[in-house]
Amino acid sequence: MAKPIVAIVGRPNVGKSTLFNKLAGKRISIVQDTPGVTRDRIYAEAEWVSKVFTIIDTGGIEPENSDLIVAQMRRQAQIAIEMADVIIFIVDGKQGLTDADNEVALMLRKSKKPIVLVVNKIDKMKDEPNAYEFYNLGIGEPITISSAQGLGLGDMLDRVVEHFDTLNMEEEDDETINIAFVGRPNVGKSSLINKLLGEERVIVSDVPGTTRDAIDSHLETDIGKFTLIDTAGLRRKSKVKEEIERYSVIRTLAAIERADVCILMVDATEELSDQDEKIIGYAHELNKAIMVIVNKWDLVEKDDKTMINTKKILQYKLSFMAYAPYMFISALTGQRVGKVLDLAKQCYTNYSRRIATGVLNDVIGKAVLMKEPPVVALKRLKIFYVTQVAIKAPTFIFFVNNPDSLHFSYERYLENKLRESFDFSGTGIKLIFRERKE
């Protein structure tokens, strides 16, 4: 089931990022020792009354010039309207109603999307009447908050999640495998998709950044049904100054979010960039199925060691996802393109794998006998029972005496044992440790 997406829209300096960070809470923090997995705080998961949703901060560069502010807000509103299920429109209770607020309200009203109007910076009871003038926007009753002090957020979130019940969140077609192609501009994503489709459906061009938005193409073959999602290429950080680029990042993250399999495409003639690591790191963090395709292999001078050496270099840089398979192709000549969907299907099969509880407990029981958990803070971890609670990605709950006595190296050991015993190549897996009394 897709998670609802909630976008935050508003003028510069009204408190969008403060609100975003409050809602994202601790969930945005990422394991420190995983290279390439940090990301801009654009996208985060939040939860309220047991409802999990994705929040997007559409903000970014804050222009000084008032014409630019209006133009940028239009763009923010546009992306929110395109992508979000519910929109939080945040205005400044200290500054009052502005022309830019009116412009955006007009766009949001036309969109027919559920809007929650939030008046920020209402820090004291005496500021409450400042909210009245925002009724003039014609998008319903304003809710007053102070994002800096955390006041009124509960009422606001109640209003946000109320809208989830009216959404028609379609169940994904379980037979269709969604594949997102990610990577820098000009790496050959569109060319590969066109080869797979056998027709020029996606614009192919040598100008980096031709594909501004994520584009879907549907394909049915002997091995199954696929949705191929072509995403905008992401430039290196220094060039992400244009806010259009930021929106490409948002769209790419959204594409990853709804994909089953993420294919990182890299150019055989260029080095892997930090941006590549970051974006595939996001897919890894979501425990998606992942594969790496090295394109333009026809342009490389080769001997019998070239492929092995190239793969070693990439695996070293992407060591946080050692489970990902690699493939060397040429979208231009068609070399090995025929095997791309076979490998994606294999990754998907492992992503959907379910293990019987008895077998699972046998494997973990043997693993513990072979290597006892280390003592952490004078306590030794005791595993009572393991069960798989989800597929896509395979998720396992370990019931233990004390989750705090789990050492990260032992968690890694248990994951490796699961991978040795069952075929989880090409997919992330998730281990959760819960306390249970003996």
Annotated binding site for GTP: 10-17, 57-61, 120-123, 183-190, 230-234, 295-298
- The tally of CA atoms less than 13 A away on the side-chain side of residue 178 is 18
- C-alpha–C-alpha distance, residues 235 and 246, integer Å: 10
In 3D space, the residue among 374, 367, 430 whose CA is nearest the CA of residue 405 turns out to be: 374
Distance CA 146, CA 358 (A): 51
The contacts of residue 212 (CB under 8 Å, 6+ apart) are 232, 244, 248
Distance of CA 21 to the CA centre of its chain: 17
Separation in Å, CA 16 to CA 137, 147, 172: 19, 9, 31
Q: What's the token pair of residue 363? A: 């494997």
∠ CA 404-410-415, rounded to 5°: 115
Block residue for tokens 């500021």: 127
> Do residues 221 and 344 touch, judged by C-beta distance below 8 A?
no
Query: Which three-class secondary structure state does DSSP give residue 75?
Result: helix
Phi-psi group of 408: left, alpha or beta (phi > 0 → left; psi -120 to 50 → alpha; rest → beta): alpha
SS3 352: coil
**Closest Cα to residue 344, out of 285, 264, 263?**
263
Task: Determine if residue 407 is left, alpha or beta; phi over 0 gives left, psi from -120 to 50 gives alpha, anything else beta.
Answer: beta
As annotated, the binding site includes: 10-17, 57-61, 120-123, 183-190, 230-234, 295-298
Strand partners, 294: 266, 328
Q: Long-range pairs for 415-421 at CB < 8 Å and ≥24 separation?
A: 417/363, 417/364, 417/367, 418/363, 418/364, 419/323, 421/363
CA distance 389 to 357: 10
Contacts of 82 (CB under 8 A, 6+ apart): none
